[in-house]
Every structure is written in structure tokens, then in C-alpha cells.
Structure 1
Amino acid sequence: MFKQRHNRNLFQAAFTTFALIYHQTVYNLRTEHRNAVVGLIITVVQSLLMVIVFLAVFQLIGMRSSPIRGDFMLYIMSGIFLFITHVQAVGAVAGSSSVSTGILKHEPLNAAILISGAALAVLYRQCIACLAILAVYYLAFQPFTIFDPLGAGLLFLLVWFLGCCIGLVFLGIRPWSPQVSGVLTALYQRVNMIFSGKMFVANAMPSFILPWFSWNPLFHLIDQERGYLFINYSPHRTSLLYPMYYAIALLMIGLLINFTTRKYESLSWSAAQ
């Protein structure tokens, strides 16, 4: 136990890093609940409750059919699943690591592993929740057909990746001002409750309302996702390239902020907070 471990080659270093990311992901999953199965069930129930709430809202406003020719529940779930995955990825990455984190005192561990573990834990939980709810709905209530399952799955990953990039920016701000970072993270998550467009269809929106939503890359991704889910819907007023460029730009900004922050960050910063 007192022998220092060294990686002999690049393959061994990569294997060590992936193993650490795996164990950190499992650790993050187990911190949600002592029982891993119960933790996954809680995640499924949370997503299901949000679907039920939005279904009740649509019933109250008199909207009982999908504005897209297709399954109404699939229309609701397409927006909610992407929204939940995105905002949880933002929150998980934004609160994933700091130089004052005690676990970073263990030499093989670093900030990149903690960030990756937090992001992958969110992706795992949300994938299980989405697949479980869709499977129960398909088997017990109404069979449905997804027009392009591969494209829909890749867009789901893009929504998660975009959330990770935004969270990376908030993570870089946190050591300088934890209160500001926390407020910005919460504000972004709350704003997306309305401006993510999960309750609307871009093609049917009036032109004077569209600019209020088109700034948001999540709005573009949810609308594009419905183009992959429904054969009768072709998004004309949103773009797939905009959120991709947005994510790449934020990834570069987030990396620059975090590299600069870790160059100057000190344990004494958290002592006065």
C-alpha cells in the first residue's frame, strides 16, 4: 500500500483513467441513494411525475391532441426527457469538483475524472429513466413508432453534451464567486422551464414570438428531436448546426476558464466563504 504506482505506457495510463472514471461514476450514482436500484427507481419516478404534470396542464388548457400528427404522449415526453437531461447535466458538472474537494487529495484523481464521472452518472440515470418509461408506455398503453431511432438517440447525446459544456463554464466561475455561479446555474435551469420550447412546436409559433425562444440552443434541439421522432414533422425554423457550434464554443470557453482558475485557485479561497 506504500508503493507509488506509475503507468508504464500510454495504454496503461488510458486504462487507469477509464477505470477511475468508471468508479467515480458508480460513486456518484450510489450517493443518490444507498441502494442503487432504488436510486434508479427514484429517477424514473421523477421523470414520470413531470410527464404527468405536463399532461395535466395540457388537459386543463384544452390541448388533448398533439400539434404534430403522431402520438400525443411521445410529443410530451420528447420535450421533457431532453429538458431534464440537459438541466441535470448542467447542475452536475457545475457542482462536480473544486481544488478544495477532499477527494482530490488522492494522487491518481484529478478534476477531469470528477467532471466526467458526474456527467456520465447523469447520462446513465436519464437513459435508464427514458427507456423504462418508453418501454412501459409501449407495452402497457399504446404502441408507437419512432421514425429515426438512431438520429433521435444521437440528438439526446447532443443535448447532454451541451448541458455538460454549459456546466463547465459555471464550474470555472464557481471558485471566483460561488454565490454568482450558483445563482447563474439555478437561473439558467429555471429559464429553460419556459424557453426550452418543450410545450411548443417551432413551425406553428407566430413570428413575433419565435425570437424569444430561438436564442436558446435547447429549443433548437427539442424541435429537431421531434423531426427524428415523427415522420410527419420537418423542422423548418430551427437549426441543428447552431447548438453544435454553441456547444463547441462553450466547451472551449469552459476549458480556458477552468485551466486559468486552477492555475491560481487556492485552498484559502474557500476558507473565507
Structure 2
Amino acid sequence: MLTEVVATRYVTPLREGGSLPGIVEGDDLGTYIMKFTGAGQGRKTLVAEVICGELGRRLGLRVPDLVQMQLDPVIGLSEPDQEVQALLKASGGLNLGMDYLPGALGFDPLAFEVSAREAGRVVWFDALINNVDRSWRNPNLLVWHGELWLIDHGAAMIWHHNWPSAEQASARPYNASDHVLATFGPDVAAAAAEFGPQITEELLTGIAADVPEEWLLDEPGFDSPDELRRAYVRTLMARARTISDRITIGEPTKDKPSQAPEWLAGKLPRRAVK
């Protein structure tokens, strides 16, 4: 079960993402990136964050700690932005918090080096959860204290937006040609040998149990949150059995220049991220 924290202060919105997450402080004296149930993508985004984030962590990948965050919309009354106020009003109750990594830099492949082993582990993981949002267009990776951290998994597991087609979707291959780590020669075979045996029904059932029940209520076609949890487990188990053979890496769609600040891309040496 994820730790529950109460939000005590809304600090500032983050405008990089479409869901308008915000930096908040909690009653445990921690600082978090809060993702809201009232955002346009809805609670399924938060479900994906929990299942994929906790799965990544249990496989040994670096994912910021996740917590359940109770939000009283009154903490945003002094926020001058009407869009933010509307979002807070629509998100009273239980939301998701991700540990804030102060000083973290957005990953740029021209400024940081990644080993083939680590690249393979991330690509294999993204293939399993069908993460379409780790491309050179939007890496969703941070470098913190010289290490690679994975963030923002809300767009993964797209099959849970249409459960009748989930079985068919779970069998689809994963094209990693545009993956932000594709240029580092990902050792997908080594990742499959390491991660494949770890994907068990017991592991996935424990992870699905971390999803708050209220985010799983009233899903069409399911009689209870536990039935829906079992559907997540079945779909990921089915995908894990064959995904290692269905990952392709070809030429990216097009080149893109580095988005790192000039002082970073031009002056810092390439750093090893193990």
C-alpha cells in the first residue's frame, strides 16, 4: 500500500505537461509533484503511474517514490491562475504524489551517456508497459546525482482505455525506433534474461493492490475493483510472455537537435549513467 500524505501547501504549477501537475508540500515535510484526478486525462493516468512506476521500481529501475496525497482544494484559494484553481477544485480527495527531485536535469542524449545494459533495461520495461511517451520528442527521463530516473508513465498501458480490445492490444509489437535511448545500442536480450523471470502473477498482483480502490470504481465491464485489478495482471502477464521477441529498433523518424541549455551541451563532458 502506498504511503498516504496530506498536501499542506500548493507551491507552483508545472506547465511542461498537458495535465498541469503541481509542486506541493506534504504533512510529512516532503515535497512532491502532484498529479490530479481532476485533470483531463482522468484517474486512469494515475492508475498507470502507480502500476508502471511500482513495477519499474521492483525491477530495480529508478523511479521517484509514489504516495497517495489527500488534497483539500482550499489550499489553492490564493492561486491567481483560474485554470489551476479549477483543477484543484475538481481534485478534492485522493490524488497521486511523486517525490520531487531537486536539481534534477532533463535527460539529453547529447549530454549524457547511457550504457547498453541500462538502455536495454529501460527499453524492455517500456515495451512491456507499452510506453509510447519516452521518445526523443519527450524523453520523460531525468538525471539526478549522475543517475538515470524514469518519470511520467501516465500514457502507458493504453489498452486500459478500451478493455474489450486489451487482449489484442497486449499482443502488439513494440517499435522502439524513436525511443530516446535507441541510439545507445540497448541490450534488450540481457534485459529480457534479467527481467523476464521476475514478471510473475504474484509480483503483479501485489503491485495492482497498491492502486487505491476509488480509482478503480465503476469501470464498464467489471463488477468490482478486484476484478479490474486481475485484468491488469492478466494483460501484463500475457504481454511479458512474448514481448522480448517483438521489440524492433530501426531508424528514427527524423533527427532532432539537443534541447539541453547551451552551457550544458557545449561545456559539460558526456557523463556515464550506469
- When Rg is computed on C-alpha atoms for both structures, the one with the higher figure is 1
The structure with the largest strand share of the pair is: 2
Q: TM-score range by the shorter chain?
A: under 0.3
- TM-score between the two structures when normalised by the length of structure 1: 0.25
- TM-score between the two structures when normalised by the length of structure 2: 0.24
The structure with the largest helix share of the pair is: 1
